Every structure is written in C-alpha cells, then in structure tokens.
Amino acid sequence: MRRRLLTALWLVPALLLGSAVPAAAENDPLPDRLDRAVAAKLAEHDTTDVFVVLKEKADLSGGRSLRGHAAKAEHGFRMLRSTAERSQRGLRSFLQDSKAIFTPYWLVNAVLVRGADAGLVKRLAERPDVARVRPAGSVSLPEPERTAEAVAQVAGAEWGVDSVGAPRVWSGFGARGEGIVVATIDSGVQYDHPALAGQYRGRKADGSYDHNYNWFDPTLVCGVPSVTPCDNNGHGTHTMGTIVGAGGIGVAPGATWISAKGCETSRCSDVFLLEAGQWMLAPTDLEGNNPRPDLAPHLVSNSWGGDAGDPFYQEIVNSWVASGIFPLFAAGNAGPECATAHSPGDYANTYAVGAYQSDGKIADFSSRGDPEGTAIKPNITAPGVAIRSSVPGSGYSAYSGTSMATPHVAGAVALLWSAAPALRGDIAATRRALDETAVDVTDYSCGGDSANNRVWGQGRLDAFAAVTFAPRGQTGTLAGTVRDATGAPVPKPTVTLTASGVKRTLTGGADGTFSIPLPPGSYEITAWAFGFAPATGTATVAAGATATRDLSLATVPRYDVYGEVRQSGGEPLPGAVVSIEGTPYAPVTTESDGAFAMLGVPVGTWRVNVQGARCGAATTVTLVVDSDELLQIDTPLRKDAFNNKCDVIPTLAWQPGTTPLALTGDDAGVAVTLPFTFPLYGKPYTKAWISTNGFINFQRLSTLSLNSAIPSGGLPNSAIYAFWDDLVVDSSAQVLTATLGTAPNRRYLVEWRNVTLVSQPAARLTFSAELHENGQILIQYKSLSSGLMPRGSSATIGIENSTGTLGFEYSSNVPVLRSGMGIRFYGAGVVQGVVRDPAGTPLKGIEVGYAMPGDSALMEQAVTDATGAYRLFPLPGEYTVSIASSDWEYYSSKVTLGEEGQVVDLDITLYPSSNDISGVVRDSSGRPLPGVSVAVMDRNIAAATTDGTGAYRLTGVHGGTQWIQVFARACEVIVQKRLTVTGDLVVDLTQGMPVDDSGFACTRKPRAWVEGTEVIDVNASTSAMVPLPFSFPLSGDTFTSVGVTGLGMLLFYDALTGEWSWAAPYTDNLAYDEQSSVRTATVNGAFVVEWRGVLLKGTGLRLTFEAVLHPDGRMMFQYGDLPDDPRIRNGEGVVAVSNAYGPDVLLIRGTLDPETAFEVRPAPQA
C-alpha cells in the first residue's frame, strides 16, 4: 500500500494540471533496482550487507563558474551533503522502523545497510526513491611484481622520472609541484620515510607532526583509533614516492601529500573506498569530525581496481570532477589481452594509465581497451616496469605494474598545475594538455589509430611538453650566473625565485648559469650551492624581456663528522644507511660496531637521516657543524603495523634442547604439537612444522630453501625465521625441542644444533627459537662459524603473518649476526583466564572481548574452549574486557597492560541474565505520555505500554548491549537509545517534536473541530482550485488559492517556478460513495477543508478529517471520525507537509488519535 500511496502522492500535481504522467518511473521492475549479486548472496546466506543508492543526485553544475580550488570543493561538499540529508530522510526513517543497522553517506547519496535479510532487501528495492540496491563487496590492490634490480638512475633521477621529462620541467620552468596537494587512496604511507617526510602536509616547521586533515584510516588497521599513518602492505608508500619522493624517485618533489587508507591489505572493501573518497572532498580531523573542503587535495591517484563495468565508484568520480579534483586510476594488469581495462579506470571521466618499460615498449601486463568498447582506454601510458621507489622501513624497492605507472601521471599533473595555475581545477583543459602532447605510438592490435589506440591511449606521457603546451599567460625571462668569490662559475647551484603567488626552484647548469621563463613581477632571488653560504638579490621581470641578475657565493669551512648509530639497549646498529639531506654525499652504511664517517661536511645546520634497520626505526637528527663533530644517534624502536618490536640481546640466556626430533637431511620438515596455544600476529596456533632450513611454520609443511625478503605473498608465511637459508642436518647435527617453565609462563624451544650450509659445508651453526606463552619470541645464536654466510649474508631473519602481508624483517641477505647475540620479538600482551558459572562449571563458547575505555567497538574477541579458557592479545594500554551474552548477565572489568608482553590473569564468573528496565516517557515539555509502546530490539521480550503516568516496565531483559525504542505517536520523533544492561535499569525517555529542514514544526494540540459547510465537486480522481479568503504564506511564497484533491491533499502551485508545495492531513488510497463529500468553510478568519465520510479503499472503513489554514501560515490537522482499526489509526496513511522543492517533507508518523489535533507551524520569518 505504501508504494501505491507514494506513487499517487506524486501523481496528484499532474492531475490538477490535466497532464499525463508516465508510470514507468514509479513502477520499475524489481530486477532493475536489485543487483543480481545481492540475490545470489542471499541465496547462500540469510543476510548480507548492501548499499542502497538513492535516485536523487546533487546539482553540482554551479561549481563550473567558481574560481579557486577551495571554492569549488566547498560548493561540491555543500550541495552533496544537503541533497543527501534531505533525500535520505524517508529511507533513514524506514530503516529505523525496520530496526536495521545502517550508515548514511553524502558523497554518493547512498546508505550502507548491514545484515539485511531478503525481506528487507525486497522492501528497499521497491521504494520509489531508490535507484539501486547493490552488494557491499571489495576490489583488489594489484600485487606489484617485485623486481630484483631497478634500472639505473639517469642524472640523479629514476628512469621513469627522467623518461616523462620531469627534470626538464624542474630546470626549464622551476616548477617541482609547489602549491599542489596530491592524495592517494591506497594501503597507507610510511609518513616519516626520508623520501616523503618533508613533503607530508602533516609535518610542521619544527619537525613534529599533526595528522588531522592529512591522514584518514577507515579500516582501523593502523590503530583504534587510527591516529598515525602506517602502511602494512608497501604499495601505498611506493606509489606516493613516485609522485612526490625526494632523491630522484618522485616526479613532483615540491608538491605536498595527504592520504587515506582505503585498503585493508591487498583487499579494498567498498565501504572503505567510499569513506576514503568522501574524505578526499572534505578532509576531517582524526575523529572524523569538522570536515574542511578547503583542505581537499588537487588530485587523487588510485592504483586499485575491480571488475570491468562496475559503476560503484562512478558517482564519487563525478563529484571529484565537478569539484575540480583530478581523478587518476590504474588501467589494470590484465594484459596483453584486449578489452581488459578495469573499473574505475574504464569510466569515461577517469584518466586511466597504462604502463611501458624502459626500452619504450608496452608492458606485457598493461591492460588494453575498455571492455564495453565505448571509450579509448588507457588514456595515456607512463613508466611502469622496474620502478624504484620508497617502501616501508625507510627502504627502496623496484616494483612493476600499472600501479607504478599511474603516480607518474599524478606527478605530471602536479607539475602542470604548479607551472600553469590557470589550469588548476579545469579537468577538461588538463586532459587536453596531457593528450595533445603525449608521444604517439602506433598499435592497432586492440583497435584505434596511431594518435589514440587501446594499447597506448594518447601515447607516452611527456610532462615537459604538457607544461610547454599549457597556457601560462605573459612571461619574461630571468637569467644569470652564480660564481664564487674568485669569479669562477659555481656548478649546478640551486636558485629559488619568489614573487607574489609564484615560487620557482631550479638547478643551474654546470657553468653556473640559469634561465627561466616567469610571469612579470618583482622577484626575490636566493642562490645556494653545497659548500657555499647562500646569497640573495632582487630582479624585476617584464613581459617579453630578459632580466639578468648574477650572484656571488662565499665558501664556508668544512669539517669531518664521525658517528655511531645505536638501537634499543644501546646495542650498535650495523648496516644502517645514514645520509645528510641536501648534500651530494652518497649515503654511508654503518659498520658492525654501528660506526660511520662523513668527511668534509660544510659549516651549517644539517638534517641527518637514518633509515630504519634491524630493531631501530628511521629517525632524523639535527647536526650543527662548526668543527669536527662526534655524533651519536639513538634510534627509536622500530614497529610493524601490528606493533611488533624487537630488541637485540647482547648476551645469551642459552637453554639447550632436550628432545631430539626425527628430522635430518636437506629440505625436510616435521609436525609438532605445541604445549600451549601460541599467538602470532593475533592468530592462535596449537601446531607447528619445523624445517631443516631454519624456520618454524604454523600453517602447513614447508621446506622451502630459497629465502626471500619478508613480508612476501610466497610461502612459507605464518612463520618464525630464525635463520632461513639452505641448511643441512647431517650426521653431526640435530634439531631438538624442549618445554620450559610452568603455565601460564611456559616456553617452547627449538634448537638447530651444529647444522651446516649446503653451499658452505665446513661452516657450522647452532641457534634456537623460543616461543613464549605470552607471544614473545627469542631467537639466539650460540655459535656461528666465521665468514659472511654464517653471519646471515644469504639468510632471512624475522617473523611473518599468515597471509604474507605483515612481517618484521630483522635482516635479509645481510651479514649482521654474531655468536653470542639474541633477538627478542615482542608486541602484544596477554589477558587470559577461565569463564565459569556460579557453580564453578567452565562455560564453553562464550565470547570475551576488549575495547578502549568508553568505546563499545570491540577490538578483539576470543571464544572460550571446552575448559572455559580464553586468551586475548592487546597492545599496552588500558582496556575494558567485557562479555555480552543473551543468557548471562553483562560482565565488564578494566585491565591495564603497562608494557609489551605483560600477562594479566582474569578469571570470570557469569550469572544468569534476567533484568528489568523501567522508567517514564515524557514529551518535550516534560508531560508524561500514556499509551505509547516501549520495547527492546529482542523479539523474545514483550513490549510494554506506558500507563496514565507515562511509566513502563520491561521484564526478563538479557544482559549486554540492548537498544530500547519508544514507538512514536503522531507528531513525535522515534526515540532509540543504546543501553549496556548489567542489571536492573531505570531509563527515562523523552520524545521530542520533529522539525524539518524548512523549519516546519509539529505540535500535538487538543482537537477544536470546525464543520465544513460548502460542498465542492471533488472525488478520488478529481481536484478543484478553491479561492482563499486571505493570502496564505507557505515556503517563502504566498497563495490566494489552493488545490483540493480527493486523495486528502492541499496543493499550492507556484506559477513562477512551476513547483508544487502540498499539505496532507491524511492521504491514502481513498474512495467515495453517496455518503462521502469534501466541504469548505471560513470560520473566525480561518479556512477549513473537511473530507467527510470518505472510504479507505477496499476496507469498508469510513473516516472524517480536516485541515484548517490560518493567515499566519499555521495549519491544524484534525480528525472527527476515525474507526478503531489499525489500518486507519496506525496504518500507512501519510500525514505530511512538503515545501516547493518536493523532498523537504515534514512527515508526521505513528498512531492517530481522534481526540488530538496536529498544529504545523512554519519557520519564523526574519
């Protein structure tokens, strides 16, 4: 009935005008709105998560005429959010009534509904305001191919950066991306990576960080709450490095960056991608509040994708484009077949990127062609093979994929918009500049022509040509030569030129000369070179003319710097890479004692960077050179994304194995049962496989002898790598185990005794791995033969999770081990205990969880085993451990873990749950409300009805989390409140008065019935225009006539705009007979319309109601005869008021009462 009713409601205005209204829009067949994938999921499961996409779209066209990035983003944000809030009102109310769990979004005007069953999905798909019901799924973050060796740098830049012409832009135009904010939606970013820290928008002038508005992690992988950027995959740090990275890895190293983590690991859930895309248009603080569209990025680079033809992200891209944000997407790695571009890269308004290799040939994997054949995809190609860039751990690696190609184009757009500010936000003109200047490559294999085909798109990216092509307005030239005090040229000086709204930085030639085109104006010039003091000057540039300004630099003294890098516990950090920012010095690597030296460092203040290695994290310290310097650098503890850390133990606490295993030979393994449950990366294990090749694996037998860097998607995974290499357990060697200590502090030891290396049989190694019951791991090296291989030059040492997406690599193919040392890995602590009933009987299957204090979102849950035992593994901090079970009283207890690895014992007794909730329901003025229904969202608990004093009582309520709801009477809002039931509760509830966006407010009043006297010719299929005795104000207009319909509505027509406002005291599928009539009257200055004795079609039920209009804009809805039948009093009849823009509706919902009237008041006029 509701669907028919709303259809009729929107048909009435056309009925008055006598025009025909097509029915198809309101009667779309269900399959057109319901995605088949939803039906497929419901065929397998009782419930599924769905996105409900609404029909109404925000009008963003007004942003085209706005100038300025912030203005465009602000307009888009305002229009999108207001449209969503208005048009979702009815859907949200429906979902509340359905007791659904849902999250609304404004960027795509959609609502995510969790755990929807088939009945709810069907009702959603039938709603006339819904465009589509689609599944909540995920897409992939392509696994890049890791390349053993990168292509050599060209003149200090990676081959890809050089290939697209970025260095020529830097030197020819002085533009390096200054003034442009770039963003990625990816797996995260190591924000303090030496190549990225200086460009991060969250880095403040004093070197500290503020992540508000600069980092967003809806996945909560990086923490709960997620307040610090991380990258648990490596993909995101790599792509960001190619866009803005320092040291020659980035195309636009002068740009600044922000990022959102839309991908949990290599999987990117739709909901997180949506939330990340929404954040891009209006970044928020770390709590997700206070959106700031003025801080939106200029472009968003996306190196992820899903199935071709998936429209999921289309509205997001549309909103970005309308708001002046350039959308870049990888075309995909599904080549060499044709028609393989994936979504969103295959959308017409995304800029999709294919990949080519260093010899200029297309990459074999690069996707080719839009599967629909409607657009040329990719749009352009860029370097994507053997691309060296930044990776977590402050390192560098070479990857291949269109994921690597896309950030080259992102960097090129940053250069283009930095050099040509007129293009900023002009997506079409920017695409034209990139397209027109791309280097054409002929390839007809997938269709197209030499200028634009489905292999290369427009061709190979040429950033220099694009900047040259771009409109930069009038320019002049500033030239000069930088010399030393003797007059000799200073090779390759850095020259910075600053004027109002312009900043350019370029590197001079080997002969000290510089020349750059600039907009006319007065410029401050600063020249600097390594070993010289800065010099400044000024120059004025005129259009079409060349200004010349030479500068002279004075040399400064140089001194030697010696230093030592130490890790936790004061242990030397060998193999750490140390560099000085802004110098030509090549990075140096610390010796086995952590020492390093840099000779001839000029006087000045320098930033010294240490890349993370072993147990030490990356760090930066300030060095003031005014004489020979001794520098000691203590690195903070390095952490992985699971908060695991490590310590180097300088002296052994050696324990030998006691029980030999039947494990000998080369590439062999054996399974063992652990004496306790051992946690690794949050997963509990009771079984392990021990390999001759120096590692313990917890998932399956693996005897892989060829080690690799970790984490890695390849086997073994879920492992402890004590010394992963190709080892042999010969007749002189053994593998032994031992169980040490008592519960709950037991240790399980595996010792590889006197084993040898396949490639160095004379070498002998004795080492062990101890698994502690609290999750700590101790690896010890009792004796290692001399030489590089026994010290680890071909071995991997570390730990890794079950999927190969997280790992802590201590070393890989680096000789950093020594006899007598140990490495301790630790992170989470342990909360453990036994859950029992009051009689002491262990309870199996009870879910025990923990959360941050004051937060109901559980961070981890464990289920008790047959002995009632549970184990949780929280990081250090304060938590609330809780149990919420329908059969037992709610339990909670605070626990504190002060340090990593701490064990907290917490036994729990549960009591049967049966609680009372009682209280009083009042209206907004404090008056008790009798006769309203109060219930909890548990169908096994009977609802209560308030008595004459407004009091209610619910009995037998289970402990734990409960939602209590007051079911609204007409003219009162629905009240829902979340409760934590730990015993009997007293909960008083207040029902407020609804107000819509236009300011209409509804109040319940005593009925004051007024009879209609003049019968007008109206029935169920006709209407009449009736003159009003006064000018009636509504929605900012005034009306002298009103349309009266037989369906219980009053219509107000605005001839200027052609829009309708309406009021409905009761509209439904009504019918008329000889006893039915519609009457009007003017009484005491008010105008009355009475519907008398009308029928609710198909029921035989007859009702009488009226609307009374007052000159001040008030309306009274009153009911003279309402049968005591739920189809009338709390059925699906609509009582509402709508303004002239249709979707702004004050909907009066709930049970109708013949003794009560509703007064609808307009907003006060200014």
**What is the per-residue pLDDT across 197-228, written as a single tens digit (0 to 9) for each?**
999 999 998 888 999 999 999 988 887 678 88
d(CA 225, CA 218) in angstroms, rounded, equals: 9
Q: What is the DSSP string of 551-616?
A: EEE-B--EEEEEEEEE-GGG-B-TT-EEEETTS-PPPEE--TTSEEEEEEEESEEEEEEE--BTTB
pTM, to two decimals: 0.60
729 in Cβ contact with 752 (< 8 Å): yes
921 in Cβ contact with 928 (< 8 Å): yes
**C-alpha atoms less than 13 angstroms from C-alpha of 360 in its C-beta half-sphere:** 5
**Token couple for 77:** 């944000």
In the predicted model, what is the mean pLDDT of the chain? 86
Q: Which range among 55-64, 745-754, 800-809, 920-929 has the greatest average pLDDT? A: 745-754
Between the alpha carbon of residue 930 and those of residues 924, 945, 1118, 1152, the distances in Å are 14, 8, 20, 14
Number of domains in the chain: 8
**What is the per-residue pLDDT across 787-813, written as a single tens digit (0 to 9) for each?**
999 999 999 999 999 888 788 999 999
Q: What is the DSSP string of 382-449?
A: EE-SSEEEEETTTEEEEEESHHHHHHHHHHHHHHHHHH-GGGTT-HHHHHHHHHHHSB-----TTSB-
**Token couple for 1134:** 């609509």
In a 10 Å sphere around its CB, with 0-12 CB exposed, 13-18 middle and 19+ buried, how is residue 934 labelled?
buried
What angle is formed at CA 745 by the lines to CA 742 and CA 750, rounded to 5 degrees? 85
Same domain, 218 and 254: yes
pLDDT at 1126 over 80: no
**What is the per-residue pLDDT across 763-776, written as a single tens digit (0 to 9) for each?**
999 999 999 988 89
**Token couple for 592:** 């086995």
- Domain end (from 97, 113, 136): 136
462: helix, strand or coil? coil
Q: What type of residue is 724?
A: W
Q: Is residue 2 part of a domain?
A: no
Same domain, 662 and 762: yes
Q: Is residue 277 part of a domain?
A: yes
Report strand pairing: 326-330 vs 908-909. Answer: unpaired
Same domain, 173 and 318: yes
d(CA 460, CA 131) in angstroms, rounded, equals: 40
Q: Is residue 613 part of a domain?
A: yes
In terms of residue numbers, what domain contains 1105? Answer: 1001-1161
Same domain, 269 and 385: yes
93 as an active site residue: the answer is: no
**Token couple for 973:** 């809002």
pLDDT at 548 over 80: yes
885: helix, strand or coil? strand
What angle is formed at CA 133 by the lines to CA 130 and CA 138, rounded to 5 degrees? 140
461 in Cβ contact with 351 (< 8 Å): no
d(CA 1130, CA 1127) in angstroms, rounded, equals: 6
For residue 148, what pLDDT is reported?
A: 47
Query: First-to-last CA distance in the chain?
Result: 41
CATH of the domain at 862: 2.60.40.10
pLDDT at 183 over 70: yes
Of 610, 657, 423, 505, residue with least CA distance to 173: 505
Confidence grade of residue 597 (pLDDT, cut at 50, 70, 90): very high
**Token couple for 283:** 């970044």
**Token couple for 160:** 């890809």
For residue 5, what pLDDT is reported?
A: 32
Between the alpha carbon of residue 276 and those of residues 182, 264, 270, 793, 1101, the distances in Å are 14, 12, 10, 42, 52
Same domain, 708 and 584: no
Residue whose tokens read 């003794």: 1155
Of 555, 556, 560, residue with least CA distance to 600: 560
Same domain, 1024 and 894: no
Across the strands, what pairs with 516?
Answer: 478
**What is the per-residue pLDDT across 696-735, written as a single tens digit (0 to 9) for each?**
999 989 988 999 988 887 889 999 999 999 999 999 999 9
Q: Please, what is the angle between helix 36-44 and helix 118-126, to 10°?
A: 160
Q: What is the DSSP string of 960-989?
A: EEEEEEEEPBTTS--EEEEEEESS-EE--E
Same domain, 668 and 581: no
d(CA 50, CA 35) in angstroms, rounded, equals: 10
d(CA 462, CA 456) in angstroms, rounded, equals: 13
d(CA 95, CA 124) in angstroms, rounded, equals: 9
1112 as an active site residue: the answer is: no
Return left, alpha or beta for 758; rule: phi > 0 is left, psi -120 to 50 is alpha, else beta.
Answer: alpha
Q: Is residue 7 part of a domain?
A: no
Q: Is residue 739 part of a domain?
A: yes
Q: Which of 269, 394, 403, 1077 is catalytic?
A: 403
- Could you tell me which residues come within 8 angstroms of residue 179 by beta carbon, excluding any fewer than 6 positions away? 417, 418, 421, 503
Same domain, 732 and 878: no
Q: What percentage of the chain exceeds 90 in pLDDT?
A: 49
Q: What is the DSSP string of 888-950?
A: EEEEEEEEEE-STT-EEE--EE--B--EEEEEEEEETTS-B-TT-EEEES-TTS--EE--TTS
d(CA 859, CA 877) in angstroms, rounded, equals: 13
Lowest average pLDDT, out of 161-170, 576-585, 775-784, 813-822, goes to 576-585
Between the alpha carbon of residue 14 and those of residues 585, 1045, 1134, the distances in Å are 78, 12, 19
For residue 1055, what pLDDT is reported?
A: 66
**What is the per-residue pLDDT across 1057-1089, written as a single tens digit (0 to 9) for each?**
566 788 888 888 899 999 999 999 999 999 999
Residue whose tokens read 């009798």: 930
**What is the per-residue pLDDT across 221-275, written as a single tens digit (0 to 9) for each?**
887 678 889 888 889 999 999 999 998 999 999 999 999 999 987 788 888 999 9
Same domain, 903 and 972: no
Between the alpha carbon of residue 404 and those of residues 53, 237, 366, 484, 886, the distances in Å are 33, 11, 11, 42, 51
Q: How many CB atoms lie within 10 A of CB 1039?
A: 20
Same domain, 213 and 271: yes
Between the alpha carbon of residue 914 and those of residues 580, 893, 960, the distances in Å are 68, 20, 11
Q: Is residue 18 part of a domain?
A: no
Asked, as a colleague might, if the bond just before 602 is cis with ω within 30 of 0, I would say no
- Could you tell me which residues come within 8 angstroms of residue 57 by beta carbon, excluding any fewer than 6 positions away? 83, 109, 315
Q: Is residue 3 part of a domain?
A: no
Lowest average pLDDT, out of 88-92, 441-445, 1097-1101, 1139-1143, goes to 1139-1143
Q: Phi and psi (nearest 5°) for 200? A: -70, 130
pLDDT at 641 over 70: no
**Token couple for 764:** 């002998």
d(CA 25, CA 28) in angstroms, rounded, equals: 6
pLDDT at 16 over 50: no
Confidence grade of residue 939 (pLDDT, cut at 50, 70, 90): low
Lowest average pLDDT, out of 59-68, 135-144, 612-621, goes to 135-144
192 in Cβ contact with 766 (< 8 Å): no
522 as an active site residue: the answer is: no
Of 931, 919, 923, residue with least CA distance to 1151: 931
What angle is formed at CA 322 by the lines to CA 106 and CA 453, rounded to 5 degrees? 120
- Domain end (from 886, 909, 932): 909
Mean predicted confidence (pLDDT) in 1147-1166: 70
**What is the per-residue pLDDT across 470-509, written as a single tens digit (0 to 9) for each?**
888 888 999 999 999 999 999 999 999 999 878 888 888 9
Asked, as a colleague might, if the bond just before 675 is cis with ω within 30 of 0, I would say no
Q: Is residue 9 part of a domain?
A: no
CATH of the domain at 343: 3.40.50.200
**Token couple for 988:** 């008083």
93 in Cβ contact with 973 (< 8 Å): no
Q: Which of 211, 235, 298, 772 is catalytic?
A: 235
Same domain, 446 and 570: no
Q: Which of 35, 49, 162, 186 is catalytic?
A: 186
For residue 1142, what pLDDT is reported?
A: 39
- Domain end (from 634, 667, 684): 634
Mean predicted confidence (pLDDT) in 367-372: 81
User: How far from chain centre, in Å, is Cα 840?
Assistant: 46
Same domain, 481 and 440: no
d(CA 1107, CA 1118) in angstroms, rounded, equals: 7
For residue 738, what pLDDT is reported?
A: 98
d(CA 225, CA 285) in angstroms, rounded, equals: 12
133: helix, strand or coil? strand
Mean predicted confidence (pLDDT) in 531-556: 95
697 in Cβ contact with 687 (< 8 Å): no
Confidence grade of residue 686 (pLDDT, cut at 50, 70, 90): very high
In a 10 Å sphere around its CB, with 0-12 CB exposed, 13-18 middle and 19+ buried, how is residue 954 labelled?
buried
d(CA 1102, CA 1125) in angstroms, rounded, equals: 11
For residue 18, what pLDDT is reported?
A: 36
Mean predicted confidence (pLDDT) in 1033-1041: 85
Residue whose tokens read 């295993």: 661
User: How far from chain centre, in Å, is Cα 345?
Assistant: 19
Confidence grade of residue 520 (pLDDT, cut at 50, 70, 90): very high
Q: Which range among 633-642, 896-905, 1023-1032 has the greatest average pLDDT? A: 1023-1032
